[in-house]
Structure 1
């Protein structure tokens, strides 16, 4: 337990007839980032709410920073910082006042709370906006202020529930940089996300959760290795040729082709590298299929997710009970 910042065993939680968690297990070594992946309704937020003492599990146990989340909730709360899916800032207070208030709620003395607030405003590049009401902040600035609020008490475990949802590309990159800095400073991070490139970039290990169960775990490379080596991807010129392209790649590849009708794109795992590519192009030429683009590529986490769950990461059946919990 001393080497694990978070440990979860057999968590179960139901809302009425809907089972949001169905026996989830996971471990996060101290000083690392665990990416918890899954579509809407998979159970990510329910897991976060249990680990942060906002919900009690129906069964199973969980420890955060060595403390049982049910038996020692106050100790868990002192050890964690939480940034949820939506920035939790008081829009009528300035950035400085928001962080000062959080510091005082954590029991810091006035001078210490103000000093910590200014330190975090500088770290998150909000010093120039410190005296402005947060309702004048952009979405990215509010997200940075919310993340700063999660760090006021210098927690050893930081829980980030889809921290970049709704941010523009610049805001997302800024948040990634801040998360990397947290880990460099020794923090442990639980990151829930639907953005697979985010997990690929930040996570030391990944757990894929779907329908309340952890269905796969490992490093990004481990998960990619599960679905084979290279993939052959083609984009055809005409929508009417997508099915024909799929049939050709089904014969050339080593697995079931994945089709994106909207983009007229078909991909399939292959062995043999360039030999498979040459054979596919020969067959396309013989069938009169016009190919606009062709590429050989390693599997991505998107491929992993599609293989494991049967749908892309952005899809999935949303369990409304989880969101309303």
Structure 2
């Protein structure tokens, strides 16, 4: 395993009968970084994280966490990992202090150490006003903070988060992102491995991105490097009517596609291929009278995902 690697995955396969979920996955997770795993539904994101977290066994291949094999040295791997699953599994009748204490006991920390660690985490996540409130009465954002605090009780070097902000309102999501970035910057050797379908979340959090499609890694690099693959700039057009927009999308030769959440807006990541540029100009010419706004900007992860994960 490379010197600065927290997790090394080599030729990983996972099958259920004749259905292959992971098909020869190889990647490395950089120590101290925030690696985000992207991919459409069914790409294998959750299965990959579950195998790394020792919750599932691989069909073949190897996964090594900080030098320990997840199959042959499971106990050591579990001591290194803090897991925050997608679904909240906290006891709704317990308080944050109680669930942190339960986790400390489960990890064998001892009563005094578990209490000290619980107080540290309550302070770290600013949970003091809620430490004696039942989980059932906490907001979704606060519950997710408790989830993360529970994952940190054992002082893990690797934190695994599966869809960490699912179900949170926008303000709670931004607050939770700030917590993750702060957590990462406060402990330089701590590694975050995050699965999400939220491209904006990936844009905010990722220092490294893995893109999965059909159980295979189709891209793995920094966000800036991946953006450079789809072009230097992105062209966005806003048209006057939905009919004009639909007509352009149906007839486009360059590959204009609809902008998420903006029904009369289309975008195109501009590659360096002159033929595509000419096709884009031809496309624009067919709806020139309907164009209300045109702007150029740098490519986004949305462009990367459209080009790689669905291509």
TM-score by length of 1: 0.86
Structure 2 residue runs without a partner (length 5+): none
Residue 34 of structure 2 is matched in structure 1 by 33
Q: Report how far residue 92 of structure 1 moved.
A: 1.2
Residue 323 of structure 1 is matched in structure 2 by none
Residue 97 of structure 1 is matched in structure 2 by 98
Residue 233 of structure 1 is matched in structure 2 by 236
Report the CA distance shift for 1:247/1:141 in structure 2 as closer, same or farther (over 3 A). closer
Residue 258 of structure 2 is matched in structure 1 by 259
Q: Report how far residue 99 of structure 1 moved.
A: 0.4
Q: Report how far residue 248 of structure 1 moved.
A: 8.8
CA RMSD of superposed structures (Å): 2.5
Residue 202 of structure 1 is matched in structure 2 by 205
C-alpha separation in 1, matches of 2:229 and 2:20: 28
**Paired residue total:** 302
Q: Report how far residue 259 of structure 1 moved.
A: 3.4
Residue 77 of structure 1 is matched in structure 2 by 78
Q: Is the CA contact 1:162–1:193 (under 8 Å) kept in the aligned structure 2?
A: yes
C-alpha separation in 2, matches of 1:213 and 1:203: 20
Q: Report how far residue 127 of structure 1 moved.
A: 0.9
Residue 12 of structure 1 is matched in structure 2 by 13
C-alpha separation in 2, matches of 1:218 and 1:302: 15
> Quick one: which of 180, 188, 193 aligns to 1:190?
193
DSSP-derived class of the 1:54 partner? coil
Summarize deviations over 1:283-302 as a string: whole Å, max 9, x none: 65x86632233221211111
Q: Report how far residue 101 of structure 1 moved.
A: 0.4
1:158 aligns with 2:159: yes
Residue 307 of structure 2 is matched in structure 1 by 307
C-alpha separation in 2, matches of 1:142 and 1:213: 33
C-alpha separation in 1, matches of 2:207 and 2:73: 28
C-alpha separation in 1, matches of 2:163 and 2:125: 18
Q: Report how far residue 103 of structure 1 moved.
A: 0.6
1:10-159 equivalence runs, <5 A: 10-159=11-160
Q: Is the CA contact 2:5–2:30 (under 8 Å) kept in the aligned structure 1?
A: yes
Summarize deviations over 1:13-59 as a string: whole Å, max 9, x none: 11233211111111012211111111222101101111111111001
Q: Report how far residue 147 of structure 1 moved.
A: 0.5
DSSP-derived class of the 1:48 partner? helix
C-alpha separation in 1, matches of 2:240 and 2:175: 38
TM-score by length of 2: 0.90
Q: Is the CA contact 2:230–2:271 (under 8 Å) kept in the aligned structure 1?
A: no
Q: Is the CA contact 1:22–1:213 (under 8 Å) kept in the aligned structure 2?
A: yes
DSSP-derived class of the 2:263 partner? coil
C-alpha separation in 2, matches of 1:245 and 1:88: 47
Summarize deviations over 1:258-294 as a string: whole Å, max 9, x none: 235970222223479xxx8xx969965x866322332
C-alpha separation in 2, matches of 1:159 and 1:283: 45
Report the CA distance shift for 1:271/1:183 in structure 2 as closer, same or farther (over 3 A). closer
Structure 1 residue runs without a partner (length 5+): 312-325
C-alpha separation in 1, matches of 2:283 and 2:78: 62
C-alpha separation in 2, matches of 1:20 and 1:236: 41
